[in-house]
Structure 1
Amino acid sequence: MEKVISRLEEWIVAIVMAVMSTIAFVNILSRGIANYSLSFTEEITINLFVLLTFVGTAIGVRQNAHLGFTLVYDLVNDGLKRVITLFVGLMMALLFGVLLYFGIQMVLFQIQMGQKTPSLGWPQWWFSLAMPFGALLCLYRTLQVTVKEFREHGVKGGQSL
């Protein structure tokens, strides 16, 4: 299951980047050759960027690639490292949980109101699903990394604390 989710994240990022790059390239050619801007593509690109940001964040959490200030963390013993790990994991889970909750509320509201995108007239919730979907991926990765890191600092000499 872990490999499937990892591959899904990577494929989403690759496809979204390819689509965004293609749209930007076609828009540049359109402006340069035909002197005509494809302005409707902007709303697709902006909304895909939201998806790219959330899925990229989930990949970053999975790979421990997020920025961190570790001066205090590196100086303390394993017991305090576990406390810090748990605290940071809980704060991240809280953030992504809030984003998930409000993302779902936003999508439900857009469905209820029948909100459409300005240029294309597509249902706005199609694009807005990126927020709860991405927050769910980030929440999953946060819990996964927190548990892994917590367990690593609980092991001394092959025995659990």
Structure 2
Amino acid sequence: MKTYKKLMNALAGLEKLVLEIATVLILVLTVGNVFSRKVIHQSWSFTEELVVAVFVLITLLAAALACREGELVNLTLLTDRLPAQVRKVFLLLSTILSVAFTAVLFKYGLDKVITQMQNGKRTFVLNWPEWIFWSFVPIGAACMILHFIEFYLDSCGKEDDDK
């Protein structure tokens, strides 16, 4: 279990690093484009493609980190008032449903990536393969699945320690 936790901590650290770099990238691109339009009177047409794709990445990785803390899909108004055993059942059910939904997201994202690789579709302005940007969906979904499971295992471990 300690090895698993070390791996998950490393994954979370990598996710945080990617989020920091992506946020700075969006900031630089957006401010640079505004500066370029207002001062030089030239628009950076490529920024829209990059910023939208990076926002998808940021959204999914931030959601994955929220899953790690149990903060993504968690309304505890009712479950906090239930006995520990019943709460554990609800946590298991919530984890199963969340992982199932995210697995569907992963599957359809991966299908889209494979289709775009086969079709060779490219972006309009940068002329990059579109599958690169669509790969953010299955990557984010995989991270979310891992963190949903991590949260469940951590929560069960905490309840066992409390006894």
TM over 0.5: yes
In structure 2, which of residues 98, 103, 109 is the aligned counterpart of residue 103 of structure 1?
109
Looking at structure 2, the residues matched to 155 and 20 of structure 1 have their Cα atoms a distance apart, in angstroms, of: 43
Q: Deviations over 1:4-52 (max 9, x none)?
A: 2121011000000011100001101001101222122101100010001
How far has the Cα of 1:67 moved from its partner? Answer: 5.5
Confirm whether residue 63 of structure 1 aligns to residue 80 of structure 2. Answer: no
Confirm whether residue 140 of structure 1 aligns to residue 146 of structure 2. Answer: yes
Question: What amino acid is the match of 1:146?
Answer: Y
Q: What is the identity percentage for the equivalent residue pairs of Structure 1 and Structure 2?
A: 25
Unaligned runs of 5+ in 1: none
Looking at structure 1, the residues matched to 67 and 15 of structure 2 have their Cα atoms a distance apart, in angstroms, of: 12
Looking at structure 2, the residues matched to 121 and 29 of structure 1 have their Cα atoms a distance apart, in angstroms, of: 24
More helix by proportion, 1 or 2? Answer: 2
How many residues end up aligned between the 2 structures? 157
How far has the Cα of 1:66 moved from its partner? Answer: 2.6
Looking at structure 1, the residues matched to 89 and 71 of structure 2 have their Cα atoms a distance apart, in angstroms, of: 21
Looking at structure 1, the residues matched to 102 and 95 of structure 2 have their Cα atoms a distance apart, in angstroms, of: 11
Residues 81 and 153 of structure 1 are in contact (CA less than 8 Å); yes or no, is this contact kept in structure 2? no
Deviating more after overlay: 32-41 vs 115-124: 32-41
How far has the Cα of 1:151 moved from its partner? Answer: 3.6
- The equivalent of 1:40 in structure 2 is 46
Looking at structure 2, the residues matched to 88 and 43 of structure 1 have their Cα atoms a distance apart, in angstroms, of: 35
Unaligned runs of 5+ in 2: 1-6
- Relative distance call for 1:36 and 1:89 in structure 2 (3 A) is same
- Relative distance call for 1:81 and 1:154 in structure 2 (3 A) is farther
**Could you state the TM-score of these two structures normalised by the residue count of structure 2?**
0.91
Deviating more after overlay: 11-20 vs 55-64: 55-64
- Following superposition of structure 1 onto structure 2, how do residues 142-157 of structure 1 map, counting pairs within 5 Å? 142-154=148-160, 157=163
- Relative distance call for 1:147 and 1:3 in structure 2 (3 A) is closer
- Following superposition of structure 1 onto structure 2, how do residues 1-161 of structure 1 map, counting pairs within 5 Å? 1-66=7-72, 68-154=74-160, 157=163
Provide the alpha-carbon RMSD of the alignment.
1.4
